[in-house]
Amino acid sequence: MHFTIRRENKVEPAKIFRRERYADRRKNDIIADTVFLSHLLDFFGEKPFARGNLDAGRISWLFDREIKGVEKSFDPQSYEALLILDVKEIKKNFPDVIK
């Protein structure tokens, strides 16, 4: 497993938002989503986790489907915002992730 340690952004964290995924997405993007989800599932399982400095762009491709906000007052620009994996959605959309 490979991790990158980044310093906290002093301005503002990038905002997480739902990006639409179209059928013509590049294969490399699909592979990146699959690997990202696989590592998140291995590391956090089905427990809530803080967004921290995880890649907001990659989360946005999965947000509100496979990755969801835990709290009703979810702040999409907070490093402390809690996220959770939706295993049913992962099984449906990324069956290779679930072993």
Query: Whole-angstrom Cα distance, residue 14 to residue 54?
Result: 10
Which of left, alpha, beta for 87 (phi over 0: left; psi -120 to 50: alpha)? alpha
> What pLDDT does 5 receive?
58
> What pLDDT does 9 receive?
56
More confident residue, 12 or 17: 17
52: confidence class by pLDDT, cuts 50, 70, 90: confident
The label of the residue with tokens 């956090």 reads 44
Query: Whole-angstrom Cα distance, residue 47 to residue 25?
Result: 29
Average pLDDT for the chain = 90
> What pLDDT does 8 receive?
60
Of 99, 91, 97, the residue nearest 31 (C-alpha)? 97
The label of the residue with tokens 């490399």 reads 28
In this prediction the pTM is 0.85
Give the bridge partners for 85, in sequence order.
67
Residues 70-82 have a mean pLDDT of: 93
| No. of helices (H) and no. of strands (E), the chain | 3, 3
